Amino acid sequence: MRFSEAWLREWVNPPVDTQQLADQLSMAGLEVDAVEPAAPAFSGVRVGLVLSVAPHPDAAKLRVCSVDVGEDEPLQIICGAANVAEGLKVPVATIGACLPGDFKIKRAKLRGIESFGMICSASELGLAESSDGILPLPADAPLGEDFRTWLALDDFCVEVDLTPDRGDCLGLAGLAREVAVINRVPLTPLAIAPVPATREDRFPVRLMAPEACPRYVCRVIRAIDGQAVTPMWMRERLRRGGLRSISPVVDVTNYVLLELGQPMHGFDLAKLSGEIRVRLAGEGESLALLNGEQATLRADTLVIADAERAVALAGVMGGAETSVGPETRDVLLESAFFAPIAISGKARRYGLHTDSSHRFERGVDPQLQVRAIERATRLLLDIVGGEPGPVVEVSSQSHLPCAEPLPLRAERVSRILGLRLSAETIEDILERLGMIIERREDGWLVRPPSARFDLVREVDLIADIGRIHGYDLIPVSHASSASVTKSDAETSFDLDRARLALVDRGFQEVITYSFVSPEIQALVEPDARTLRLANPLSAELSVMRTSLWPGLLQTAAYNRARQMERIRIFETGLRFRTGTDGLEQTPGVGGLAMGGTLPEQWGQKSSPVDFHDLKADVEALLALTGTAERFRFVAAEHPALHPGQTARIERDGEPVGLMGMLHPSLAAKLDFDADVFLFELDIAPLGSGLLPRYAKISRFPGIRRDLAILVDREVSYDAVSRCVRSVASELLRELILFDVYTGQNIDSGRKSLALGLILQSSSQTLTEGLIEETVERILERLATELGARLRD
């Protein structure tokens, strides 16, 4: 919700400055996201009147204008705008003026003709992002007046980020009430008098889905002026509220939305047939929307229809076929109450999010519709004229929400808030919040206002009392209780320790959405059975992730596009897979590395990260279990990974994860210009490990023997290691691979592995004979099982 501070102060004017006001709203639970000037700084701009317009003798697109700015003599100004015209009031930057961007106006000569100022557009004054020409001002704008003062631009726009339960503050009226209550100052509510009908024209209404729309109010207004324009003051308030001026009818409905919080819509009456029918859509029914899109409707979608077809997506957006245009002469104004559950999620289903759906999803005051249509009628008649008919209201009282009275206990207030408030203070707060209270022996019976959908329990009332009293005035107290906590087994996999280990190795933790783009999900795991969301936030976030990789890849792509050369990120979280037993939620940890192995520095050259760099990071995680020797990296295949650089990680033969290089074709689709390496581990199988335990250090010396063996290229070092350890398990203290060689003097199908064997006994000094016997047995086993032989 964005609003003008000056507009708010017309309703309630507390003795606080802008920053204090913002702080008060935040402390009351209405968090202020931003406070911005209503217009950028500029000076020297005055209201002028164009007296004459003549063509420039040497430039077809320029005009020589004579402009009166309230001085003794009019100013000669060269202007290139197509909409400049004689008799038009305009903002004029005079000599010495300073416009946004530190642009100073000086005396200039354009194609030989002198110019003594500039006629300004809205974008040049910072009042719009773009504009087609100069900014026309109303005829009653005071000639010579400082433009900034006349338009009251020394104002601030306040952006409030409301929680979903505070839909009552999605209008200036609700915010003003909160400010008045917080500051204990009077509120000047808007006086809305009924507008009498001048003709008897009515448009019939039928509620065919009363549980979704229990109240519908409409009014016919005939003979409006299609050439009328929205007044400057209204356009400015809409702009400061974050809305664009479109046409008088649309602007009035948007103005009431900002002012009262009631969404409205205007139909071109001539384009409606028969009657208004509020009903559910037919499956597959089509509706052309105002944004130019064609919506194919589902059967559970509420629509506003006439006798022939749907004309609006209820609570979301109107239809293009019945929209109000310059040719419209008769209007049907609509103001309705839609049940939040009937509107919730419908806009997102069709890829939309509108100011109307934002409010209806959170709940609009069900008693506001008649007041809103009377307010809109008065504004519209003042701007475009017309002849109003009577207000037509159709409602289903049994389906309208009714605020039930809630019991409130004084003792409960003290216990929840941790302080004792007097009965008079509690009653004062509740009454100023618009609640009806009745004293009882143990407290009160409280009836909330119709707009407060969030007040459904006693604790909700207490929360309101606490925030209005002031959270900062609640004393700090420390609770104490006898509790028994259950700790994890000491041998279990410690995820926090794993996080720290990755951070120590240069990774940064990221947190991404659990729902991802179906396109990226399909690229990563094309055969996975995904869970599709019924009401996604957007089409790009419509399926639950089956892997952590989509979020990591999108994060990496985002950072890579912003010149981040070295990326090392990880995430922990749930993956969601649909199986035979329903939805499975499995915790995992995943990581991504790309770029250099080291940050740029002078002392050591960095090389691009490769498979073995990431494998070392994964091994560091697996070592936290204390059972590193039980894990193996086995060549595997995965649709998202390079077929020659993919490994399945196993523990005692059971898969626990995957790692490898992103497939080049997938890297190209995601616009990666460097190799990307990924890993993912299931946390559950890592469960139980071993605790470190003391091993006595042998007092006998160790002996090292180096062997260079030839094996087939397909033979892995893991197979060699297991073979060696199976023979010399008692004497072998350490096995080191210190060289791998292929090339000259080696058969093309073979490779040379240089092994360092550290042999040591805990009970004796090793003799040369025992050492040679052990080495011979190792070589014999290697030859038998792996076809290995000593290198010459």
CA dihedral (542, 543, 549, 553) in degrees, to 10, reads -10
Q: Are 299 and 274 in contact (CB under 8 A)?
A: no
Q: Quick one: average pLDDT of 322-332?
A: 94
Close Cβ partners of 463 (under 8 Å, ≥ 6 residues apart): none
Say how far apart CA 592 and CA 674 lie, in whole Å.
12
Nearest to 193 by CA among 404, 475, 382, 476: 382
- In a domain, residue 131? The reply is yes
Q: Quick one: average pLDDT of 351-377?
A: 95
Q: Are 179 and 222 in a shared domain?
A: no
The pLDDT score that the predictor gives to residue 349 is: 86
Q: What is the pLDDT of residues 7-21, one digit of tens each?
A: 999 999 999 999 999
- In a domain, residue 482? The reply is no
Say how far apart CA 124 and CA 116 lie, in whole Å.
17
Q: Are 323 and 423 in a shared domain?
A: no
Q: Are 227 and 97 in a shared domain?
A: no
Q: What is the pLDDT of residues 181-202, one digit of tens each?
A: 999 999 998 899 999 999 999 9
Domain holding 289: CATH number? Answer: 3.50.40.10
- In a domain, residue 485? The reply is no
Check pLDDT > 70 for residue 656. Answer: yes
The pLDDT score that the predictor gives to residue 481 is: 61
Q: Are 331 and 384 in contact (CB under 8 A)?
A: no
Nearest to 545 by CA among 562, 570, 567, 522: 522
Q: Are 72 and 80 in contact (CB under 8 A)?
A: no
Task: Give the confidence band of 733 by pLDDT, cuts at 50, 70, 90.
Answer: confident
Q: Alpha carbon of 217 to those of 222, 258, 564: distances in Å?
A: 17, 19, 56
Residue 357 C-beta-side C-alpha neighbours within 13 Å: 21
The pLDDT score that the predictor gives to residue 745 is: 84
Return the sign of the alpha-carbon dihedral for residues 401, 402, 407, 410.
positive
Q: Are 301 and 238 in a shared domain?
A: yes
- 508 phi/psi in degrees, rounded to 5: -120, 135
Say how far apart CA 718 and CA 705 lie, in whole Å.
19
Q: Are 574 and 607 in a shared domain?
A: yes
Check pLDDT > 70 for residue 33. Answer: yes
Task: Give the confidence band of 491 by pLDDT, cuts at 50, 70, 90.
Answer: low
The size of the chain, in residues, is 792
Check pLDDT > 80 for residue 580. Answer: no
Q: Alpha carbon of 435 to those of 178, 262, 416, 446: distances in Å?
A: 13, 21, 20, 7
Close Cβ partners of 764 (under 8 Å, ≥ 6 residues apart): 700
Place of tokens 């740029």: 600
Q: What is the pLDDT of residues 496-550, one digit of tens each?
A: 899 999 999 999 999 999 999 999 999 999 988 888 887 777 778 889 999 999 9
Q: What is the pLDDT of residues 237-286, one digit of tens each?
A: 999 999 999 999 999 999 999 999 999 999 999 999 999 999 999 999 99
Q: Are 27 and 163 in a shared domain?
A: yes
DSSP 763: S
Q: Are 252 and 370 in a shared domain?
A: yes
Q: Are 291 and 343 in a shared domain?
A: yes
Nearest to 125 by CA among 42, 242, 231, 232: 42
Task: Give the confidence band of 486 by pLDDT, cuts at 50, 70, 90.
Answer: low
- 53 phi/psi in degrees, rounded to 5: -135, 125
Say how far apart CA 549 and CA 546 lie, in whole Å.
9
The pLDDT score that the predictor gives to residue 484 is: 61
Check pLDDT > 90 for residue 686. Answer: no
Check pLDDT > 80 for residue 487. Answer: no
- In a domain, residue 58? The reply is yes
The pLDDT score that the predictor gives to residue 490 is: 66
Portion of the chain with pLDDT greater than 90, in percent = 74
What is the 3-state secondary structure of 482-545?
A: CCCCCCCCCCECCHHHHHHHHHHCCCEECCCCCEECHHHHHHHCCCCCCCECCCCCCHHHCEEC
Q: Which two tokens stand for residue 653?
A: 């033969």
Q: End-to-end alpha-carbon separation of the chain, Å?
A: 81
- In a domain, residue 478? The reply is no
Q: Alpha carbon of 533 to those of 518, 537, 761: distances in Å?
A: 11, 9, 62
Q: What is the pLDDT of residues 368-423, one digit of tens each?
A: 999 999 999 999 999 999 999 999 999 999 999 988 899 999 999 999 998 899 99
Domain total in the chain:
6
Q: Are 142 and 160 in a shared domain?
A: no
Check pLDDT > 70 for residue 329. Answer: yes
The pLDDT score that the predictor gives to residue 83 is: 93
The pLDDT score that the predictor gives to residue 489 is: 67
Residue range of the domain that includes 7: 2-38+155-183
Domain holding 30: CATH number? Answer: 3.30.56.10
The pLDDT score that the predictor gives to residue 488 is: 64
- In a domain, residue 351? The reply is yes
pLDDT mean across residues, the chain: 92
3-state secondary structure of 7: helix
Say how far apart CA 727 and CA 743 lie, in whole Å.
30
CA dihedral (40, 41, 44, 47) in degrees, to 10, reads 30
Q: Which amino acid would we find at residue 713?
A: R
3-state secondary structure of 629: helix
3-state secondary structure of 738: strand
DSSP 777: H
Nearest to 338 by CA among 226, 179, 211, 170: 211
The pLDDT score that the predictor gives to residue 414 is: 92
Task: Give the confidence band of 480 by pLDDT, cuts at 50, 70, 90.
Answer: low
The pLDDT score that the predictor gives to residue 485 is: 63
- 401 phi/psi in degrees, rounded to 5: -65, 145
DSSP 621: H
Nearest to 82 by CA among 104, 53, 111: 53
The pLDDT score that the predictor gives to residue 482 is: 59
Q: Alpha carbon of 719 to those of 26, 724, 747, 757, 782: distances in Å?
A: 64, 9, 20, 16, 10
The pLDDT score that the predictor gives to residue 26 is: 93
The pLDDT score that the predictor gives to residue 3 is: 94
- In a domain, residue 410? The reply is yes
Q: Are 373 and 299 in a shared domain?
A: yes
Say how far apart CA 266 and CA 631 lie, in whole Å.
68
Say how far apart CA 126 and CA 751 lie, in whole Å.
71
Element (H, E) at 20: helix 18-27
For helices 172-183 and 423-432, the axis angle rounded to 10 degrees is 160
Q: Are 328 and 224 in contact (CB under 8 A)?
A: yes
Global pTM reads 0.72
Portion of the chain with pLDDT greater than 70, in percent = 98
Nearest to 475 by CA among 420, 408, 412: 420
Q: What is the pLDDT of residues 126-157, one digit of tens each?
A: 998 888 899 999 999 999 999 999 999 999 99
Check pLDDT > 90 for residue 693. Answer: no
- In a domain, residue 142? The reply is yes
Q: Which two tokens stand for residue 168?
A: 């009552």
Looking at the DSSP bridge assignments, the partners of residue 217 are 335, 393
Q: Are 512 and 533 in a shared domain?
A: yes
The pLDDT score that the predictor gives to residue 511 is: 95
Check pLDDT > 70 for residue 479. Answer: no
Say how far apart CA 659 and CA 624 lie, in whole Å.
18
Buried b (16+ CB within 10 A) or exposed e, 254-281: bbbbbbbbbbbbbbbbebbeeebbbbbb
Q: Are 587 and 603 in a shared domain?
A: yes
